[in-house]
Structure 1
Amino acid sequence: MCSTQEDTIFLDSPFVYSLLLHIMTALSTPVHILGLYIILFRTPKSMGSVKWYLFNLQIWIVLFDISVGFFTIPVLLLPRFAMFPMGILKVLGVPSFIQTFSVFALLGFMMISIIAIFKNRFFAVCSFRWKKFCVKWKRTWIMLHYFGVIVALIIFGFMSPNQEMAKQRLLEALPCLPAYIRTSPIFIACEDYTYQLLLMVFFTTLACLEVLFFAISIGWHSIQQLRTKQISSKTFKMQRNFFFAVLIQIGVPMVLLLFPFGYQWMAVVCNYYNQAYNNLSMITEAMHGLVSTIVTLLVHRPYNWEDNWVGKNHVFVKNGYRYVCEYSRMVNC
C-alpha cells in the first residue's frame, strides 16, 4: 500500500534527506571527538574497570553515526526489506549489499557493547558461587555475540533473492515509487521475510533479557551487600549513582531507536509505504549517536563540563600580585 500525495512531506526529497544527515554528521563529529577524548584521558582510576567498555561503546556509536549520516545514507523502502545507498561509498562504487550489511553489523555491534557494559558491572558488583567459572568464559561469551551477528548477516546474504527479478516485483508492488528510486541500485534483502524477521526478533529479545537480568542482579546484590554490611553506605551510594548513570546513558538515547523501530515494524506488518516517514525514521535513528554522547558527558560526574573544565586551579595576576584559586571536589562514580 502506498501513501497518497497528501501524506508526503518534504522529507521524501533525496536532497533534503541527505542534507539533513550531512548536517547532523557535521554537528555530531566534534561532539564525538570530545567524548572519545574525555573517556580516554579524563576517566578517573576509580572507573578504570569500565573505561574501555565505555570507549568500546562510544566507538561503535561513532561508526554507526558516521556510516548512516555520511558513508552510506541508507534509503529504506519499507514495507519491503529493500534499500539503496546515497552516501560516499556509492560514489566509490561499493556494492549496495555490502553497505546494507555493514549498517546492520554496526547496529548489532553497538547493541552488544551495551550488553558488555552491564556484564562488566555485573561481575564487578555481584558475588555468587559460580562466579569463578563465569569469569573464565565472559570474554568468550561476548565474542559469541559478535560471531552470532556475523553468522546471521551471512545467512541473510545467502537467502537474498535474484536482484533483477526481485527488483521487478518490487516495482510492481510499489508502483508509486518516484523515478529517482526506480533508477537507483536497490538491494532487496528478502521477499519472504519470515525467517529474517524471526531472527531479528530473537536477537533483540535475547539482548533485552540479558540487560534486564544484569540490571536486576546488580540492584539486588547491591542491596543485599548493604544489608549484610559487606559494603559501606558510601560505597553503596557510589555504586547506585554509577548504575543509575549507566541506565540513563543507555535508556535516553535508546528511545531514539525504539520509536523508529516501532514505526518500521508497523510499516512492515501493515504493508504501508511512505518514503517521507521512512526517511524520518532513519533521521531519528541517526540522532542516537549525538544524544548518546551528550548524555554520557552529562550523567557521569567525572565527565561533566564543570568537573573537567571548571573544577581546576586557576592562576591570575592583579595589581602585581599572583593569585591561585583552588577547587577540590569529590568525584563519585
Structure 2
Amino acid sequence: MISSIDNYYSTNYSKCNLSESFLASWKGVAYPTDFIQIFSLPLQILAFYIILTKTPVQMKSMKWPLFYNHLFCSIFDVILCTFSTIYIILPMLGVFTVGVFSWLGIPIILELILLTCSLLSLAFSYIYLFESRSRAVSQNPFKMSRKSTRIKYYSYLILSYSTIFIFLIIIPSDQETAKLQALQAYPCPTQEFFTFPILILNSDSTTSTFIVIIFMPIFIAHSVGHGVFHVTWTIWYLYVAPSNQVSIETQKKQKTFLKNVILQFSIPSVFILFSVAIIFTSSFYSQEMMNLGVDVAGLHGIGESIAVIFVHSPYRKAAGQLIFRWNDPQSSTRVSAVRGNSSAFTI
C-alpha cells in the first residue's frame, strides 16, 4: 500500500494522463454558479415582492404555500451557487466546496449538512404546496383538514428525510487511509484531490455504489411519490369525480391553478432532473460532466423564479405592470386603472 498521499502524488500520479480543461477544475463549478446567481438574485427578489404584495383574493389560500416554496427554493439556490458550491468526485464519494463558506474556513461537514438541509427543505416545500392545493378541494376525502393530522404527516416526512444523514455515520474517521483506499479504486482523479481539503464520505466501493445507485433513487422516488399522491387525488376530484355542490366557475379556477402549480414545479425540476441524469451517467467517469451537472442544478434558481412570476396570470400581469411603470413613469393613470381591475384576474 502507498505510504502517504504525498508519496502517491509524486510517483504514481505523475503517470496519469489527465484533462486540464477549465470545466474539470474547481473553477468549472465556482465561476459558472456565481455567474448564474448574479442573474437569479434579481428574479428571486422580484418573485418575493410579487407574491407578498400582488397576490389577489382568489389566490389568498395559496399565498403562503407559494411563498414558503419560493423561500426554500431560493435558500437552496443561494447556498449551492454562492455559499457552499460543491465539487464532487465520483465514484469515490469525495467532496469539497469552493463557495464563500469554504474561504471563511467553515468545516466541510457543516457545509454538507447545510446544503442537504436546504435540499430537503426544497423538496418539503413542494410537497406542502401540492398538499395545500389538494386540501383546497372540498370533496377530496384524502385531504388533511385537521391540524393534528398535518402535524403527524409532516413529522413523518421529516423523520423519513433524516435518513439521508446516514452519510454522517459512514464517513471514515481516518481520512488519510480513506484517501489511499479511494485512489486504489480510482487512481487518477483531478489535481484538486491533492490540493483541496477533500472529504471522503466513503471509501468502500460497494457502499458507495449502494448509496448512489440504490439509496438515492429510492429516496428521490419517496419524495416524488408524496407529491404525486396529492396531485393524483386533486386531479381525480376535479376532473373525474367533480362535486355537484361546487360551482363550475370555482372548479374552473381550481383546475387552472392546479395546472399552473404543476407547471411551476415542472420548469425548475427539469434542471434538477437533468443534473441528476448527468451526474449518474458521468459516475464512470468524466469530471467535466460531473461539474456540468452541478452547474445545471444551479440554473434551478432562474427557472423557479421565472416559473413563479410568469406561470400564474395575476403574477404575470403584476410583473408587466411593474415593467410598464418603470419604462413609462407618466403612465400612472393607466397603471391605476389596470390595478382597479385586479379583482378580475383569473387563476
Q: Does the TM-score normalized on the shorter chain lie above 0.5?
A: yes
Post-superposition Cα deviations, 1:29-68, rounded to whole Å, max 9, x if no partner, equal 1111111111111112221221111111111111111111
Percent of aligned positions with the same letter in both sequences?
25
The equivalent of 1:220 in structure 2 is 236
In the superposition, relative to structure 1, how do residues 259 and 311 fare at CA in structure 2: closer, same or farther (>3 Å)? Answer: closer
Kept after mapping to 1: 8 A contact 2:309/2:319? no
**Aligned partner of 1:77 among 89, 94, 102:** 89
The equivalent of 2:50 in structure 1 is 38
**Aligned partner of 1:158 among 162, 166, 169:** 169
The equivalent of 2:223 in structure 1 is 207
**Aligned partner of 1:28 among 40, 47, 54:** 40
In the superposition, relative to structure 1, how do residues 324 and 80 fare at CA in structure 2: closer, same or farther (>3 Å)? Answer: closer
Whole-Å Cα distance in 2 between the matches of residues 171 and 73 of structure 1? 24
Q: Which moved more, 1:42-51 or 1:240-249?
A: 42-51
Whole-Å Cα distance in 2 between the matches of residues 287 and 324 of structure 1? 33
Q: TM-score, normalised by structure 1?
A: 0.86
Post-superposition Cα deviations, 1:64-122, rounded to whole Å, max 9, x if no partner, equal 11111111110011222221111111111111122123212211110111111111111
The equivalent of 1:244 in structure 2 is 259
Whole-Å Cα distance in 2 between the matches of residues 225 and 311 of structure 1? 42
The equivalent of 2:197 in structure 1 is 185
In the superposition, relative to structure 1, how do residues 262 and 87 fare at CA in structure 2: closer, same or farther (>3 Å)? Answer: same
How many pairs were matched up?
321
TM-fit CA distance, 1:261:
0.8
TM-fit CA distance, 1:280:
0.3
Kept after mapping to 2: 8 A contact 1:301/1:307? no
One-letter code aligned to 1:210: H
The equivalent of 2:346 in structure 1 is 332
The equivalent of 1:253 in structure 2 is 268
In the superposition, relative to structure 1, how do residues 294 and 324 fare at CA in structure 2: closer, same or farther (>3 Å)? Answer: closer
In the superposition, relative to structure 1, how do residues 218 and 323 fare at CA in structure 2: closer, same or farther (>3 Å)? Answer: closer
**Aligned partner of 2:117 among 96, 101, 105:** 105
In the superposition, relative to structure 1, how do residues 39 and 248 fare at CA in structure 2: closer, same or farther (>3 Å)? Answer: same
Whole-Å Cα distance in 2 between the matches of residues 113 and 105 of structure 1? 12
**Aligned partner of 2:23 among 11, 24, 28:** 11
Are residue 173 (structure 1) and residue 185 (structure 2) matched? Answer: yes
The equivalent of 2:298 in structure 1 is 286
Q: Residue 193 of structure 1 aligns to a residue in which SS?
A: helix
Whole-Å Cα distance in 2 between the matches of residues 209 and 132 of structure 1? 17
The equivalent of 1:233 in structure 2 is 248
One-letter code aligned to 1:26: I
Task: Tell me the C-alpha RMSD between the 2 structures.
Answer: 2.8
Whole-Å Cα distance in 2 between the matches of residues 13 and 206 of structure 1? 34
One-letter code aligned to 2:245: Q
Kept after mapping to 2: 8 A contact 1:315/1:323? no
Whole-Å Cα distance in 2 between the matches of residues 94 and 248 of structure 1? 37
One-letter code aligned to 1:247: I
One-letter code aligned to 1:254: S
In the superposition, relative to structure 1, how do residues 70 and 310 fare at CA in structure 2: closer, same or farther (>3 Å)? Answer: closer
Q: Which moved more, 1:216-225 or 1:189-198?
A: 189-198
Q: Which moved more, 1:183-192 or 1:288-297?
A: 183-192
In the superposition, relative to structure 1, how do residues 128 and 99 fare at CA in structure 2: closer, same or farther (>3 Å)? Answer: same
In the superposition, relative to structure 1, how do residues 185 and 257 fare at CA in structure 2: closer, same or farther (>3 Å)? Answer: same
Whole-Å Cα distance in 2 between the matches of residues 303 and 123 of structure 1? 22
Q: Which moved more, 1:130-139 or 1:257-266?
A: 130-139
Kept after mapping to 1: 8 A contact 2:91/2:186? no
Whole-Å Cα distance in 2 between the matches of residues 60 and 220 of structure 1? 29
TM-fit CA distance, 1:301:
0.9
Kept after mapping to 2: 8 A contact 1:316/1:323? no
Q: Residue 94 of structure 2 aligns to a residue in which SS?
A: strand
Kept after mapping to 2: 8 A contact 1:126/1:222? no
Structure 2 unaligned blocks of 5 or more: 1-15
Kept after mapping to 2: 8 A contact 1:81/1:193? yes
Q: TM-score, normalised by structure 2?
A: 0.83
Whole-Å Cα distance in 1 between the matches of residues 108 and 144 of structure 2? 45
Structure 1 unaligned blocks of 5 or more: none
In the superposition, relative to structure 1, how do residues 36 and 223 fare at CA in structure 2: closer, same or farther (>3 Å)? Answer: same
One-letter code aligned to 2:300: H
Post-superposition Cα deviations, 1:208-259, rounded to whole Å, max 9, x if no partner, equal 2221121111111113564x52222211211111011011100121111111
Kept after mapping to 1: 8 A contact 2:94/2:200? yes
Over 4 Å off, 4+ runs: 3-6, 128-135, 305-308, 310-317, 322-325
Q: Which moved more, 1:179-188 or 1:33-42?
A: 179-188
Q: Residue 55 of structure 2 aligns to a residue in which SS?
A: coil
